[in-house]
Amino acid sequence: MQKTINLLGIIALGSLVAGMFPVIGVYFSVLGLVLTTVLYAKVDKLGYGTTLLNFTIYQWVVMLVPTGILTYLGVERFSQGSNGLTYLIIMLVVALLLFLAFINYFIAKSLLVLGEKTDSLWFKVSGTLTKVGAFTMPVLLGFVFIVLAQPFFLLGCILFKPAGEIK
């Protein structure tokens, strides 16, 4: 399991870096997102008491459905004709940001537990950045901290050794 986590961490971090390139970067970003989710599942199976995968799936479902609907309907086209609809869209976005803050708080708690139980500074830093991101999510600054937390989580996966092993 350790070697799988290490290898997936390397590939996911490479995908994250490759995601910065124009045009093809979006494909690498999606690959990195999927691999990070697989890593969450693998880390949860280690028995450290984390729930990273569950909260990530909640986040995906709740965020993708409204975002997809708003994109499909063409928010700009509808918001030009009605102030009521504009306010409704703003309220929906604020509700989604508060939901993201709530979910990322629990992801941060799991990362901090993982950092404590594995004695990994990388997971602790990722958890701290995610927690700061959760508290600053309603003012949109949280996205920056969440994005900064990902490489630290992936570095933690690359250097992961189960607790109790000699370093």
For every residue of the chain, DSSP letters joined together read -HHHHHHHHHHHHHHHHHTTSTTTHHHHHHHHHHHHHHHHHHHHTTTSS--HHHHHHHHHHHHHHHHHHHHHHTHHHHHTT-HHHHHHHHHHHHHHHHHHHHHHHHHHHHHHHHHHHHT-HHHHHHHHHHHHHHHHGGGTTHHHHHHHHHHHHHHHHHT---TTS--
pTM of the model: 0.81
> What's the average model confidence in pLDDT over 31-47?
90
Q: Check residue 39 and give its pLDDT.
A: 92
